[in-house]
Amino acid sequence: MGIKVTVWNEFRHEKSHKTVQEVYPDGMHVVIAKFLQAAGYEVGTATLDEPEHGLTDAVLANTDVLLWWGHMAHHEVKDEIVDKVQQRVLNGMGLIVLHSGHFSKIFRRMMGTNCSLKWREMGERHRLWVVSPGHPIVEGLGEYFEIPHTEMYGEFFDIPQPDELVFLSWFQGGEVFRSGCCWHRGRGKIFYFQPGHETFPIYYQKEVQQVITNAVRWCAPVNVVNFRDMAQAPHHPEPLEKIVIE
């Protein structure tokens, strides 16, 4: 495949909460990185407490698809790093935002909205229905799959209407949620996927791994030739066609 992936994790819950350590002793990023490696991608990781949050210019330049998991420390992510990630996405890097990453600075920045939602942590049942059955992100799935115990995220989810809505969720407590959403932004592509939590062992579930693996492929950059940097607004004083002003 040759797709280079960086899995970014806040990596705080795993250090401070014993129940989280039991599920993800080395951090969620390590579990995610492993199944993506097994799928044939080149995978690195980065975490909040590394210098520049592990997202140096060199790392970003070498990343085709960035995954993002954050929760308790969104506000600690530096704005200058968010700026750089945004520009990398607009210039082609794929971005996959997981679960509580809905409230990350980078996701809110890319969406232009609050990305707020309703939530509840009772460990209720969650069923994800496929509503775009020809989409490459559902490769290998059936018409739905279930997560036995999850945190509820409910509508209204304050996001732009997705360019492609892939999953709709049913929750035991009476809510629904747009749980798998695709957007095109500049030359990049973004996928938000609701499943995942620090204590429910959701990233070990086969279907969840399948979706994230598929999403990396969907998000991968497309090679275009001589496209301008998206931050530039070039002056074109020389028209392509002769202009006669009448």
Residues numbered 149 to 208 that lie near its own copies (CB under 8 A) are: 149, 152, 154-158, 160-161, 163-165, 168-176, 178, 183-189
Q: Closest distance between its own copies and the C-beta of residue 49, in Å?
A: 25
Residue in 48, 82, 130, 215 binding its own copies, rule: CB under 8 A = 130
Distances (CA, A) of 111 to 10, 95, 160, 240: 20, 12, 7, 34
CB distance 168 to 137 below 8 Å: no
Give the interface segment with its own copies, choosing from 27-35, 39-47, 104-112, 196-204 (CB under 8 A).
Answer: 104-112
145 beta partners: 128
State yes or no: residue 75 binds its own copies (CB under 8 A): no
DSSP string, 96-145: EEEGGGGGSHHHHHHHSS----EEEEEEEEEEEEES-TTSGGGTT--SEE
Q: Closest distance between its own copies and the C-beta of residue 192, in Å?
A: 13
Q: Closest distance between its own copies and the C-beta of residue 203, in Å?
A: 21
Q: How many of the chain's residues bind its own copies (CB under 8 A)?
A: 86
Q: For residues 63 and 88, give the distance between their C-alpha atoms in angstroms, rounded to a whole number.
A: 9
User: ∠ CA(78), CA(80), CA(86), 5° rounding?
Assistant: 105
State yes or no: residue 73 binds its own copies (CB under 8 A): no
Residue in 2, 19, 51, 142 binding its own copies, rule: CB under 8 A = 142
Q: Look at the chain and count its residues.
A: 246
* Crossing angle of the two packed helices 206-219 and 28-38, in degrees rounded to 10: 70
State yes or no: residue 117 binds its own copies (CB under 8 A): yes
Give the interface segment with its own copies, choosing from 4-12, 29-37, 41-49, 118-126 (CB under 8 A).
Answer: 118-126
State yes or no: residue 2 binds its own copies (CB under 8 A): no
Element (H, E) at 21: helix 18-23
Give the interface segment with its own copies, choosing from 30-38, 48-56, 59-67, 123-131 (CB under 8 A).
Answer: 123-131
The nearer residue to its own copies, 26 or 155, going by C-beta atoms, is 155
Q: Closest distance between its own copies and the C-beta of residue 164, in Å?
A: 7
CB distance 177 to 218 below 8 Å: no
